[in-house]
Structure 1
Amino acid sequence: MPIKTCVLVGSLREGSYNRRLAEGLMHLPESREHEFAFADIGSLPLYSEEQDNDPPPSVVALRELVKGSDSLLFVTPEYNRSIPGVLKNALDHGSRPWGQSVWAGKPSAVIGTSIGQIGTALAQSHLRMVLAYLDVPLMDQPEAYIQWKDGLVSEDHTIAESSRDFLTGWMRAFFTFIERHQDV
């Protein structure tokens, strides 16, 4: 049975390296039997508690997408040694109103890429802290801090041979984690 995964990319930039990485992961042979849907986090207004009882349509759409998904895949860049504000804003919207978080219990994984040598290690660390607070079960191993280099993911979403085996194994571990979590 296909696993439905909500993909949250923390970059809104056209041609985003992280969006390209997410698309590459979705096109790996192990991923093709599953379903992926990108969350539109760029259309969300800045979070305000005043909207909790009457959220805008973009917030309702995010919440419904997450509720209808079996798992979450966070693909984040690193901005100033942390997660992008747009991703934190999406997490805040999905966690409210209090007691009605759509994130809780959804098996998840975190990955990201950057041109820096440590990839997105610090952003992932910060994101993991937020997700732990939101009661999001996270795949701990293997970790993936990917340094972006030209050719890592081609225009047709093919991952470079030098990284394909590692990322294939990472996705395989993610699907195993999800399946194990669904059996609980």
Structure 2
Amino acid sequence: MSQIKIAVVIGSLRKDSLNRKLALALAHLAPSDVTFEHVQIDDLPLYDQDDDAKQAESVRRLKAQIASAQGVLFVTPEYNRSVPGVLKNALDNASRPYGQSAWAGKPAGVIGVSIGPMGTSMAQQHLRNVLAYLDMPTMGQPEAYIQNKEGLFDEKGHVGEASREFLTGWVAKYVAWVKKHSA
């Protein structure tokens, strides 16, 4: 496998999202043979089974981006102890119609950052339940519940010195997971 493409799904639409910032920073820690491609989810219609026969262009685009990737990285905040609705909507849209899921078999990684000390743990657990149903082999270890503290990001938006070793190791494990499960 030469170049590896990872579809990155960010569960927040906020322009200054910490999770968007984390997703961008993680890309700088990836090996040179790995490309992170951010997928757009802000223009997806609310999932409606009546639309399965004629999916919107935005849904077809999402499914194509997932299909062309060797793995999927979910970087998500936690809203009310679960995943944001926009992320769940993307999961639902790209999994339908039944039997035509873009997610099936794609190796997944789950990570998130928040201001709280539990750092998206509940959202990640709920997401893992959904990913298991969608038949996505999901990396279990190391878990990464990141708390946004001073120094997490440097002045350029890269991962700061205090977290660089852990997050570099996490990215390396995830890339190895993708290589193992996408062969």
TM-score (norm. length: structure 1): 0.96
- Residue 71 (str. 1) matches residue 85 (str. 2): no
Once the two structures are superposed, residues 75-132 of structure 1 have per-residue CA deviations (whole angstroms, 9 ceiling, x without a partner) of 0100000000000000000110001000000011000000000100000000000000
Q: Distance in 2 between matches of 1:73 and 1:157?
A: 19
Q: Where in structure 2 are the equivalents of 1:85-124 lying within 5 Å?
A: 85-124=85-124
**Deviation at 1:154?**
3.5
Following superposition, the deviation at residue 181 of structure 1 comes to 1.3
Match for 1:120: what amino acid? T
Which residue of structure 2 aligns with residue 16 of structure 1? Answer: 17
Aligned to 2:4: 3
Name the structure 2 match of 1:142: 142
1:181 aligned residue: 181
Q: 1: CA distance between counterparts of 2:153 and 2:66?
A: 26
Q: Which runs of 5+ in 2 are unaligned?
A: none
Percent of matched pairs sharing the same residue: 53
Residue identity in the other structure for 2:65: L
Q: TM-score, normalised by structure 2?
A: 0.96
Contact residue 107 and residue 181 of structure 1 kept, 8 A: yes
Residue 171 of structure 2 corresponds to: 171
* Contact 2:71–2:182 (CA under 8 A) maintained in structure 1: no
For residues 155 and 9 of structure 2, what CA distance do their matches in structure 1 show?
Answer: 20
1:156 CA displacement: 2.7
1:105-164 deviations in whole A, cap 9, x for unaligned? 001100000000010000000000000001000011000000012442235331110000
1:27 paired residue number: 28
Secondary structure at the residue paired with 1:163?
helix
SS in 2 for 1:74: strand
The corresponding residue for 2:160 is: 160
Contact 2:151–2:161 (CA<8 Å) still a contact in 1? Answer: no
Report the 3-state secondary structure (helix = DSSP H, G, I; strand = E; otherwise coil) of the residue aligned with 1:31: coil
Give the partner amino acid of 1:163: S
1:25-64 to 2 correspondences below 5 Å: 25-28=26-29, 30-64=30-64
Unpaired stretches in structure 1, ≥5 consecutive residues: none
Query: Which whole-Å CA distance do the structure 1 matches of 2:56 and 2:152 have between them?
Result: 37
Residue 64 of structure 1 deviates from its aligned partner by 0.4
Residue 112 of structure 1: SS of its match in structure 2? strand
> In the alignment, does 2:145 pair up with 1:127?
no
Letter in 2 for 1:147: Q
How many residue pairs get matched?
182
- Cα separation, 2, equivalents of 1:120 and 1:4: 25
Greater mean alpha carbon deviation, residues 174-183 or residues 101-110:
174-183
